[in-house]
Amino acid sequence: MGFADYYKWLKRDWAKAGLILSIFLLIFLFVFVIQVDEVVFLILLQTPLYMLHQAEEYVFPGGFGKFFNTKIFMLDSEDKPLDQNFIFFVNILLIWIILPLFGLLSLKDYTFGLWIPYFSFFAGIAHILLAIRAKKLYNPGLIVSLFVNIPVGLYSIVFLVNKGILKNFFLNSHFAIGLAVNGILPILGVALLRRYRSKEAKELDAI
């Protein structure tokens, strides 16, 4: 298999690979990291837990793209404008690259990674808001959000506050960064929707 073949495989099965990778990372963190530095452990822990979140969104049961297109954008299309390309690049960039990068930088200075538990917490809250918006009891990612991302993110933040690493739960820049990173995603979604509708309008005009 050449590089192009590996890329095609990753683009197709990244969420499945992430599920396997999350299990390895969880074992590694609990065996080697938690005893050394609990703060770094909690920061790094958010990445494999979010990979579990991605597995619910895109593997078991999957269908987050379809849910977003049909229930949030209220379109007939199930695979556009939130398509495979957008889902792949956003998730890989944010969860596979940015989160672990800043988590590893926290080995040098906790400040680099203190926004990550906030991100995980707010990402979980976002799925509750999506359920309310869609008037559905369930959306892909909600279960892990309720039972993993929100409680673990909240515990991590409270732990950091109790240790004095965060001076205040709300009044700090890390709260704002975690919220802002989550805020970027719906902004990108709106941009996708506008581009999709603009393209549709042009195609209709051309007929």
| For the chain, domain boundaries | 3-206
Give the rounded percent of residues in the chain with a pLDDT score beyond 70: 98
97/119 Cα distance (integer angstroms): 14
CA distances from 205 to 6, 119, 129, 195, 202 (A): 40, 42, 36, 15, 5
Tokens standing for residue 164: 């004095």
Instruction: Tell whether the model's pLDDT for residue 207 goes beyond 70.
Output: no
**Per-residue pLDDT tens for 32-64?**
999 999 999 999 999 999 999 999 999 999 999
Q: Read off the pLDDT of residues 149-194 as tens digits, 9 standing for 90 and up.
A: 999 999 999 999 999 999 999 999 999 999 999 999 999 999 999 9
Average pLDDT of the residues in 13-27: 97
Show the tokens assigned to 72: 């949030």
The model's pTM is 0.95
pLDDT tier at 125, thresholds 50, 70, 90? very high
| 177 CB-contact burial (10 Å; exposed 0-12 / middle 13-18 / buried 19+) | middle
Please give the average per-residue pLDDT across 112-128, as a whole number: 98
Q: What is the mean pLDDT of residues 83-99?
A: 96
- Rounded CA gap, 150 and 22, in Å? 17
Tokens read off for 39: 């703060």
Average pLDDT score over residue span 11-21? 97
Q: Which of 66-70, 111-115, 162-166, 182-186 has the lowest mean pLDDT?
A: 182-186
Cα separation, 62 vs 157, whole angstroms? 29
Instruction: Give the number of other CB atoms < 10 A from CB of residue 119.
Output: 25
* Two structure tokens written together for 21: 């990778």
Given this model, what pLDDT does residue 203 score?
Answer: 72
